Amino acid sequence: MSNKQKKKLTAVQQEYQSFAKAREPGRPVAKNIIRAFIAGGIICIIAQGISEFFLWNFDFTEKTVGNPTVAVMILISVILTSFGVYDHIAQWAGAGTAVPVTGFANSIASAAIEHRSEGFVLGVGGNMFKLAGSVIVFGVFAAFVIALIKTTLAMLGGG
């Protein structure tokens, strides 16, 4: 909130806030950064291994190997989420697991699992896209804008 919108605190409230702030434990920023780096790195190493597996054992090229690799990483994330393992990893690693596509898959799967008792349509279908819906809408809109720009530039370039 801006300073204009903040409520005026009474003396007791100000005293309590300073009391609480003085006793709030510090955040281990360096440790959190290292953990996120390690976890994100391990996720990337696993994805690279899967990518190499597809390159060597199937008829994929450098350009086409990305889609099955992402699909397998999403599958692994959803399986680990369903067994409750991904949440423990994410608790330890923080942003290291939230940033890759596995974190996105975890957020959707967690919401689906949490609301399954409410039914498939209103529970699973309705709640799993509350968090992910804005990301999906932004992604679709960004892809549309980029395709529009690319098409416009191709038309102007004579292609």
Confidence of residue 1 (pLDDT cuts 50, 70, 90): very low
pLDDT of res. 121: 64
pLDDT of res. 150: 93
- Compute CA distances 75 → 25, 66, 79, 80, whole Å: 37, 14, 6, 9
pLDDT of res. 53: 96
Please, how many CA atoms are within 13 Å of residue 76, restricted to the half-sphere of its CB? 15
pTM of full prediction above 0.85: no
| Tokens 């291994």 belong to residue | 49
Token couple for 53: 């597996």
Confidence of residue 73 (pLDDT cuts 50, 70, 90): very high
Q: What is the pLDDT of residues 11-29, one digit of tens each?
A: 888 888 888 888 888 888 8
- Domain extent listing, the chain: 31-157
Q: Which of 39, 40, 41, 72 is nearest to 54 (CA)?
A: 72
Q: How many residues does the chain have?
A: 159
CB 47 within 8 A of CB 69: yes
CB 72 within 8 A of CB 14: no
